[in-house]
Amino acid sequence: MFELIRSNKRRSVVLVAAFVVVAIAIGAAAGFVAGFGPWGMAIALVVAGAMAFGSYWKADKIALAVSRAKPADPEQYRRLYNLVEGLCIAGGIPQPGVYVVDDPAPNAFATGRDPQHAAIAVTTGLLEKLNRVELEGVIAHELSHIKNYDILVSTLAVTLVGSVAIVTDVAIRMMWWNGGRNRRQGDHDSGGNPLAIIGFVLLILAPIIAKAMQASISRKRETLADISACQLTRYPPGLISALEKLKADTTVTHSASTATAHLWIEQPMSGVGDSGRLGSIHRLFDTHPPLDERIALLKEL
């Protein structure tokens, strides 16, 4: 278990670096397509560095704001606070900020940059549909993400994936408006700049690359958090029952978005378990392992 956590930390560093490299590549591609030439790379370096720095400090607040999470009132949500406090004491974890999302779908997520600067958010649907033991299992799962240092890379991915999508969209729109009428630095007399062509191809592939990287973040981390949660509560049936209820519930989490999908305990939008001719391709971009697999693994503990 401890070796898995250490491996998680190492993979987190690699993934954050990979996201920054992808952001730089996309920025450079956008620059060439828009006609900035070598300046596109310089601008991309500056923007990517500023984005990574800003994301480190503010990505958790962005994730909470995008999900429309509000601070939970200690009196109104006394049961929730009691469970969080008890599990934090048992696991030796600093108590995170506690938030509630007004959404009928049962779901939850953790965010932050480290255990000292973390927050968990649960939906009103989760509070209504789960009993105390099941809710304890879900909260333990989210606290395990904090304890295992999963939250930094997951939270950074929210802003980095969103930024890639925005840059790609803006660059393609600029190229469309330009319509090929204005010459770009490096264009040949009889054709376009080959680097711009490469950049255009990269812009088309950028959302797919970002989505694949996002999917790679949370799959193994979800399984590790499930196991860690059972160690924390000493009662696997609680989390098993909670996951079974999540599986049975088909309500879509309206507070989730493509950028934040990997944060939630259950994939908030359709996609998991997709069957048909393209099912195997769709599953490549699932941010979570199927609930059936997670439940089966916990039943073996």
Length in residues, the chain? 301
Look up 222 and say whether it is catalytic: no
CB 116 within 8 A of CB 246: no
What are the DSSP calls for 111-167, one per residue?
EEEETTEEEEEEEHHHHHHS-HHHHHHHHHHHHHHHHTT-HHHHHHHHHHHHHHHHH
CB 232 within 8 A of CB 139: no
CB 102 within 8 A of CB 122: no
Give the helix/strand (H/E) hosting 215: helix 194-233
Euclidean distance between CA atoms 293 and 89, whole angstroms: 30
Q: Which of 134, 142, 222, 266 is catalytic?
A: 142
Active-site residue set = 142
